[in-house]
Each structure stands twice: as C-alpha cells, then as structure tokens.
C-alpha cells in the first residue's frame, strides 16, 4: 500500500456510503440545520434520505459541499491546505494520528450568525479591493 493510500484511509469519508453519511448528519443535526447550513432544496422540500442521496449522486458540487460539511462540522477534521482544498473531500488526505472529534453543536441561529459574519467580511474585502485599500475621500457610497 502506498503512503497516499494509507493517508486516504485516514479520511473519515473513506469507505463511507453517501446514504450512511447523510443518515448520520440527519440523525445528529436534523433537516432544518442541514437546510440552513447548505441551502439545498433536497433538505427543504419534503426531505428524505432516498431523495437526497439520489440528488447528491447526480450533482457533484452538492455532494462535495455535504462531504465538506461532514468533514469540517461533523467530524471536525483539520482545515484543508490550499492544495488539498482544490481536491474533492473524498480525495483529501489526513496524517496518521489525526482522529475525528465530537460533532460541532449547531443551531439555526448559530449558522445564520456565522453566515452573516462571513458575508460582512466578504463585503469588506471586496470594498477594500475596489478602493485599492484606500478610503473613498470622505464620500459615502450609495
């Protein structure tokens, strides 16, 4: 077995079916939290494991988003490096000795607050980029 294969085996997604992963997430968080966190219609309109798995198998970006959520929030694995971030979550490697932690406790309110902070930070970054890092000379934007 190569080193890369050994490191891939340390990924909590290794050998985990989409159905089992989704069942674990729904059992722990529930549909409302999954819908709030990932904003996917399959978690909102008549959600079921079967229909969500069917959608996620067809839609690569959605599957990767759920797998990323599973790794970061449910298993609380370390954040991917810039190079690893470009890989699908199932292809990311984790060093030996890194073990999953207890799932992050989430509420709809905590997710909405986190999303609002991220949107605010994004707005600030895009505004400073537009101004070249300079202030706008006292003029207000409208």
pLDDT of amino acid 1: 66
Closest CA to 108 of 64, 46, 43: 43
pLDDT, tens digit, 9 for 90 and up, residues 127-136: 887 665 555 5
pLDDT at 18: 97
116 three-state secondary structure: helix
Question: Cα torsion at 20, 22, 26, 31 (round to 10°)?
Answer: -160
Summarised one tens digit per residue, pLDDT across range 17-50 is 999 999 999 999 999 999 999 999 999 999 999 9
């Amino acid at each position: 077995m190569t080193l890369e294969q050994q490191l891939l085996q340390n990924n909590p997604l290794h050998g985990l079916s989409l159905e089992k992963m989704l069942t674990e997430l729904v059992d722990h968080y529930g549909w409302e939290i999954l819908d709030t966190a990932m904003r996917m219609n399959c978690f909102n309109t008549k959600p079921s494991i079967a229909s969500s798995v069917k959608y996620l198998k067809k839609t690569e970006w959605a599957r990767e988003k759920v797998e990323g959520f599973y790794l970061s929030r449910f298993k609380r694995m370390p954040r991917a490096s810039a190079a690893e971030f470009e890989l699908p979550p199932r292809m990311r490697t984790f060093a030996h000795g890194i073990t999953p932690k207890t799932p992050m406790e989430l509420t709809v309110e905590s997710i909405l607050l986190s999303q609002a902070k991220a949107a605010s930070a994004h707005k600030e970054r895009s505004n400073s980029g537009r101004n070249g890092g300079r202030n706008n000379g006292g003029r207000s934007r409208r």
